[in-house]
Structure formats: C-alpha cells, structure tokens
Structure 1
Amino acid sequence: MTDESAAPDRPPRKRDSAATKLAILDAAREVFTRSGYDAAGLREIAGLAGVDPRLIGRYFGSKELLFTQVVADAYGNHLMMTPEANAEAARSLLTDPTQAHRDGMLLTLRSAPSERAAEIMRVSLERDFQQALADELEGPHAAARAALLVAICTGVQFMRNVLHNSALAEGDPEVLVDLLRTALDAVATAPSVPDAAE
C-alpha cells in the first residue's frame, strides 16, 4: 500500500547553463582585469562566479580559451575610423569612457607581460578590428594604415582614460575632436605618394 502522504518525486532541477557560462565570463573578466593573465587563477574565477572550478573546463576548455573569449568580448565594440566616420570616432574617443572601456584597457595592460596573452590579444585585434577596418579603407597600404589607426585609438584611450592626461581630459572638446579627426583623416585617406612597390 502506497503512502498517499509521501511527496511526489520531482524531476531534478535543470541547470541554467547560459547563466552559469555568463557568471564565469563576468568573473573571469573581473579577475583578468584586476590581476592580468598570468596571476589569474581558475579557482579564484570559479569562487567569484559561485561555481565548481570543473565547470570552467566544461564550458571553456582551459584558462587560455576562457581568456580568449574575455578578450573577444572586451574588443568587440570597434570604431570604424574611415574618412566619413572620423568625426564621430574622434568624439567617441574623447568622451567619458564606460566602465567596459576602462576595463578593456586595464585587461590589456595587465595581461600584456604574458607572451601567450599578448599573442591572444594581438590575434583578436588584428582579426576582429584591424582587418575589418582595413577592408573599409580605400587605396594602398590599407593594412598598415588600419594598424596605425588602431594604435592612435589605443594611445588616445590610454592617455586620457588611464593616465588622465590633463590636456585631453580638460581641453576644449570641440578643438580636441577637430584635431583628432584631422589626424585620423590623414591616416585613413588613401595616400597620394606613389606605392613603394612601383
């Protein structure tokens, strides 16, 4: 005779894999940004995410692959520094950054001493930002010009948002935007000099 008062069997609660993966990514971004690639530990990341460390391996495979995903997310919002877009790009670079922009720069600076992390960041920048920009530039030396534009963008962000350079932080915004737009246009516009290969 069955016990009618017994609680019915319940199916096991489903894990929310998307939420778990997102929690790991958020924790990894925080730890890599704070400590850099070499000093970041998977146990620390798992603890911050509130998950078993083994889940990092299940969802991402390794610390290196987890870092690769964090970098891809951090570098995912690019500026198109083409002649028709440079006024907007200059204004964006010279306005107050979001926390994500600051974190992306700190992630880069603190992880760059690691050769492997530097390679991961370089590949991500070249493949997902520099190449997309080069594809939009007309004329010769597009890859080199795109790399220079990325370097200008990075330098402005570093000087203004990390070092808090007073001339960039406190100068007349319209003057700064016009000066930076002119510099971006000079690189983005196809050069009039003959191609060196000719």
Structure 2
Amino acid sequence: MSQDTPSIDRPRRRNSTATRAAILQAARETFTQRGYDGAGLREIAQTASVDTRLISRYFGSKEGLFAEVVDLAYEKSMMMTPEHNADAARYLLTGTEKDPADGLLLTLRSAANPRAATIMRESIERNYQHRLAEALPGPDAAGRSALLIAICAGVMLNRQLLGHTELNSADVERLIPYLHAALDAVADVPAENTGTD
C-alpha cells in the first residue's frame, strides 16, 4: 500500500479536553452577555457546537458550569499588598485588558440571582480573598483583603463600565499616587499595631 493511498475514514474520536474548553468559552461569553438568568444551556451548547447533554456530562448542571466560569473569570487577581500597590494602582487606572471588565460584567449581570450571587461570593472568598489575606502583613487580614477587593471593584466599575470622566482623562496618571496611598492605607499594618511608640 503506497503512502499516497488515502486512509479509510474512521469516526473521529471526541477530544474531551477541547470539548470541555469550548463549552467553558461559550458559557463565559453567554453568561457575560446575558447574566445567569438570561443564559440558556441550549444557547451555550449551540455556541460551543456540542450536544446539550455534554454540558451535564462535564459540569453536572447550569450551576456547576456557572461556578467554573466564575472561577476562571476571577482567576487573574492582582495582589494588593504594600510591595505591589504601586503597580496595582497604575493597572487599575491605566490598564486596558478586556478580561477584568468581562468579569465585572458577568458579576453585575448575574448578581440579581441569589444562587449566582452566592457562587460568586464563595469563589471570591475561597480564592482571591484567601490568597490576598495570606499575603497581607498584620492583623485582620481577611477583613482588610475584603476591603481591598471592594476598592478594586469600585474603581473598575466606575472607570471601565461607567466610563467615569476623571478616571478616563488623558492625565489620569496624576491620580495613581492617591489610589496607591488608599490601597496602602488598608494593606499596611496600622501604626498602632506595629508595636512601635
């Protein structure tokens, strides 16, 4: 048999990793555009070019799929510790990446559903807040990490989604030292807890 002879067509085996990734990508786009309540499994399956039953096979349910999408959307979290806050402030005021804005849209469009809100809160607390708290010096790290995340989300909401004029001005870099100071005020150990007089 020569090398030029075409091979016999065999049914293609499904690549489960690629299928799972396609479903996650389609779900992320759909949940971001329509929120938890507006996103349907049929639409997600159609966008991913898969049978709807595969979503149940890989993720169990719409909730399970949403939970994985949320973990991915919140995965790129910045460290807002004293040694990183200058970079964090600069990124929050001048960054142009699309992913953080998409994560915020996913959050806002899904938050009205109590179960979706619980999934998102648990993801933030289990992943981002936990990592940040472990990296912060001093007492009450969990509470301070929650405050830092709230500051971050507020700046992103006003700048990227609402298009706040001052936060999108040509000279926005002048505000970086103020935001840096605000982040440090929460991330640094307060003077009364340092043990110095």
Taking structure 1 as the reference length, the TM-score comes to 0.90
* Alignment partners' CA distance in 2, 1:110 and 1:99: 16
Give the equivalent residue in structure 2 for 1:122.
Answer: 121
Give the equivalent residue in structure 1 for 2:189.
Answer: 190
Does structure 1 retain, via aligned residues, the 8 Å contact 2:28–2:69? yes
Deviations 1:95-126 (A, max 9, x none): 24322222111000000000000000001101
Does structure 2 retain, via aligned residues, the 8 Å contact 1:140–1:191? no
Pair 171,141 (structure 1): closer, same or farther in 2 beyond 3 Å: farther
Give the equivalent residue in structure 2 for 1:155.
Answer: 154
Aligned length: 189
Taking structure 2 as the reference length, the TM-score comes to 0.91
Give the equivalent residue in structure 2 for 1:43.
Answer: 42
Please list every run of at least 4 consecutive aligned residues from structure 1 whose deviation after the TM superposition is greater than 2 angstroms. Answer: 7-12, 171-174
Q: Give the RMSD, CA atoms, in angstroms.
A: 1.7
Are residue 33 (structure 1) and residue 43 (structure 2) matched?
Answer: no
Identical amino acids, percent of aligned pairs: 56
Give the equivalent residue in structure 2 for 1:164.
Answer: 163
Give the equivalent residue in structure 2 for 1:3.
Answer: none
Where do 5+ consecutive residues of structure 2 fail to align?
1-5
Give the equivalent residue in structure 1 for 2:3.
Answer: none
* Alignment partners' CA distance in 2, 1:96 and 1:80: 15
Pair 8,185 (structure 1): closer, same or farther in 2 beyond 3 Å: closer
Give the equivalent residue in structure 2 for 1:139.
Answer: 138
Matching residue's letter, 1:102 = A
2:94 match: secondary structure: coil
* Alignment partners' CA distance in 2, 1:101 and 1:132: 18
Pair 136,8 (structure 1): closer, same or farther in 2 beyond 3 Å: closer
2:51 match: secondary structure: coil
Deviations 1:160-191 (A, max 9, x none): 00000000110523321111000000000112
Matching residue's letter, 1:18 = T
1:98 match: secondary structure: coil
Pair 129,11 (structure 1): closer, same or farther in 2 beyond 3 Å: same
Where do 5+ consecutive residues of structure 1 fail to align?
1-6
Deviations 1:5-35 (A, max 9, x none): xx98654321111111111111101110111
